[in-house]
Structure 1
Amino acid sequence: MKFLFDIFPVVLFFVMFKWGEGNGETAQALAQQYLSGLVGGNAAITASQAPIMLATAVAIIATAAQIAFLLLRRKKIDSMLWVSLAIITLFGGATIYFHNETFIKWKPTVLYWCFGAALLVSQTLFRKNLVRLMMEKQISLPDSVWQRLGVTWGLFFLAMGVLNLYVAFNYATATWVNFKLFGFTGLMFAFIIAQSLVLSKYMKDSR
């Protein structure tokens, strides 16, 4: 359930973009009605711009709604969710204001690089392993393994950021939107499974 909650904005972004692609005139009218006031110079929103702009607006609202939901339930809000809200608001807002999809295409890279940098910098400079802090209640590992795990996750997020830029600026926007949901989700699952297989022997040893 937490995984579905985490990717909720990404799923809505995908759904809205696909709907906008298939309903060009309606999407343009909707974007013009609700987003025109947020566009710099009150420029008209074209039919080709409408899908990505509507999807971006929905993603911003969905991320804010996640935090509001957790606040209402008095649940702890992960710092990563606050970072995600700040980044989607900044880059998504720039996409709408400048009616330029380049900004929202950079958003996943900036987010992944923030995660990767946080993991590597905290472990290297402050001797604080964030992966260990999140997982040590579920599994007991040697210090050397925790260190490798932290570095591996950090490098994985940095690589994901690079991959996003490659897909975003070498393929059509529709292809990037597809990859944003299915490609990155699949890679994340594959990476987690690979890590679980590596850690399985330590889990057995700890029993």
Structure 2
Amino acid sequence: MKQFIDFIPLILFFIVYKLAPAEVQFAGRAFEPIYCATAMLIASSIVVYGALLIAQRKLDKSQWLTLGACLVFGSLTLAFHQEAVLKWKAPVVNWVFAVAFAGSHFIGDRPLIQRIMGHAVQLNDNLWAKLNVAWVLFFLICGFVQLYVAFTFQSIWVDFKVFGSLGMTLLFLIGQGVFLARHMHDEPTGEKPKD
């Protein structure tokens, strides 16, 4: 559920981008839909993560990173009136996640995915390492795909940013579920079988 809450600002970004007229006048300046959508992305990120912070009294590190990247890249996009700056946000965030997951193999006592999911899933160290590497590859590939689409297919970039990102994430999570299901075993309950 938490992963889908993170998509709310992105979905609002998409809606504003698609519904905004060709040009919006504000404070004597004309803004194209991408800049209106970027302003919505910033505002909705502040609201969504602010509400989560109030409700949970904390944000995950990944949520802080996403919020920070949104504020930095979104603000620079609006300040310099350059949509190319915003196009770098998703790849950079994905690569930071990839580095964090990769670094956890060398820093700390457990891979990052085990720290995240270890309370819910029991796997041996070898399987945790494989799962962590899968997350590293996922974030690396997502970053490169998003960068490629953003600068090669300008006309579908916003569509891909929302639906392509969501689709890649869903496919990866389904694959992870299949992997985990193959390696999970029923825990003994301590009860004797009935005769």
C-alpha separation in 2, matches of 1:127 and 1:139: 17
Residues paired across the two proteins, number: 188
Structure 2 counterpart of 1:18 = 18
Structure 1 counterpart of 2:140 = 158
Structure 2 counterpart of 1:133 = 115
Structure with greater helix percent: 1
Q: State which of 53, 64, 89 in structure 2 corresponds to 1:71.
A: 53
**1:9-30 CA distance string (max 9 Å, x none):** 110110010012xx224xx22x
C-alpha separation in 1, matches of 2:101 and 2:78: 31
Change (3 A) 1:45 1:99: farther
**1:36-75 CA distance string (max 9 Å, x none):** 7xxxxxxx435xxx21111111111111112221232244
Is 2:174 aligned against 1:193? Answer: yes
Query: Could you tell me how far 1:143 is from its partner in structure 2?
Result: 0.6
Helix, strand or coil: the match of 2:81? coil
**1:129-151 CA distance string (max 9 Å, x none):** 11101111111101100011111
CA RMSD of aligned residues (A): 1.7
Query: Could you tell me how far 1:102 is from its partner in structure 2?
Result: 0.3
Helix, strand or coil: the match of 2:12? helix
Amino acid aligned to 2:185: K
Instruction: Judge conservation of contact 1:45–1:99 (CA < 8 Å) in 2.
Output: no
C-alpha separation in 2, matches of 1:11 and 1:180: 10
Structure 2 counterpart of 1:7 = 7
Query: Could you tell me how far 1:127 is from its partner in structure 2?
Result: 4.2
C-alpha separation in 1, matches of 2:143 and 2:56: 32
Structure 2 counterpart of 1:204 = 185
| Aligned ranges 1:110-149 → 2 under 5 Å | 110-149=92-131
What is the percent sequence identity of the aligned residues?
35
**1:112-161 CA distance string (max 9 Å, x none):** 01111101012234443111011111111011000111111011101110
After TM superposition, the score normalised by the length of structure 1 is 0.84
Query: Could you tell me how far 1:204 is from its partner in structure 2?
Result: 2.8
